[in-house]
Amino acid sequence: MGCDRNMACRTCCQDIYLGYGPYSSWPMVDTIDEIDALPDNKRNRLGAILMRKALVMHDGHDFEFYSDDYTSVDHDGNLRLMGAWGSEGDVLIEGFRDFEKADIEDGI
């Protein structure tokens, strides 16, 4: 079982699809330095490589990594975390509906 991973860049208004893979392939990091500090067996997994590529392309930008597994877009077009028992959670990104869709393999 796995999950998808996306990067939403508020600076560029882009929603970048990074891919799908095992949970273990997506490190819980937010910076290039954190990825570079991972042990080789984690840093060299495809998820970490794709996340690092996105971080380099969007260095200094305001962004969030997220998964469709635990987020949804509400009726106002905001990306929300899922709340307990199916309720709406906190807004992660306002105006998300207007973000341009991109794919990491397209060279963002």
- pLDDT tens digits for 15-55? 999 998 888 888 899 999 999 999 998 888 888 999 999 99
Residue 106 banded pLDDT, cuts 50, 70, 90: low
**For residue 24, what pLDDT is reported?**
82
Average pLDDT, rounded, for the chain: 90
- DSSP per residue over 35-92, as a string? HHTS-HHHHTSHHHHHHHHHHHHTTT--EEEE-TTSEEE-TTS-EEEE-GGG-EEEEE
The pTM assigned to this predicted structure is 0.85
